Structure 1
Amino acid sequence: MVSTVDLMLRPATEHDVDTMRLLRNQQANRDVSIQSHEITADEHAAWWAKTSADPTRRVLIYEREGMTAGVVNFFDIEGSTAAWGFFLDADGLAERGETLPAWIEVMKEATSYAFDELGLELLTGEVLEHNAVVRQMNRRFRFTEGTPEQRYADGREITVIPISLRKQDRRKGK
């Protein structure tokens, strides 16, 4: 059993930039991302410069037992709505046999942050159609899926499914 002391979301800082890019570029994360190309250092630095100064964004580091285990991104924060996404240290968590517990915990913490810290009423996001495991986990957390749409990204056609969760529909922790 992991105590809540060992789990946390904290604001990302300049010191996290390289780690965020390394995690985002893990093949498992690229395979389920709309932008699937490997993110360059310059591209990432430009993203961070823009993102870290944007009041409609929050980038959080998910730590598990004192180690960076993922990144949670809230964006388009406006009033009581925002969009979000996250990715985990797929390689490190798999190596330690911690993928599923980390995934459940980051979703619990991120949705709590969205509704309790940011004061949101509606949280939205997107998932690729072929990402059946994430779609199943989203349903477990009571996200609903919208109408799929076709897009072109990084030279490939993908089907993107919008998701949403209303505050009153979320799972409450014990």
Structure 2
Amino acid sequence: MPASETLPEPAPPEEPQLSSFIRTIPDFPVPGIQFRDVTTLFQDARAFRRAVDGLSAPFADRGLEVIAAMDARGFILGGAMAYALGLPFVPIRKKGKLPGTTLMESYTLEYGEASVEIHEDAFAAGARVLLIDDLIATGGTAIAGVRLIERLGGELVAAGFVVDLPDLGGRRKLEAMGVETHVLMAFDGE
């Protein structure tokens, strides 16, 4: 080969699909549930960054003022997104975990009932809020989060999730409420 010729750079290896980082655990927490575990995605730094970037990108120029996220895995994503977008972070926690005066919303899960709370001074009325969680299944948790944001006078811009379980209908419920919903991947089944 003449000295003036160079070989082309090798193409970078193709990134694996984000869905390959999600572990499925059968019969957890109760028989019949196929639990989609995002903690295995969090354990891979590149996959975690891709998930945070994928959830953040659609909202970079949407005038967001607050990232609110659902207890507990939603905190991991929401906190990273708030940092990446330079926004405040507001936790929506399980009942009894917040120390200040709170508003509470109860809901049903695919395998039980629960309540979540938000500090009543979490953000100013009219704040443009993005709601984040790791997964949407039946929609109970997300709908409770939406209701709390609305009760505080927030303007819900959208909701974002890493995983959608479309067979359980949660995303359809949110969209029927007029909530713009973004997901990074979907898995069939429960």
TM range (shorter): 0.3 to 0.5
User: Which structure's residues are more often helix, by fraction?
Assistant: 1
Larger radius of gyration: 2
What TM-score, normalized to structure 1? 0.33
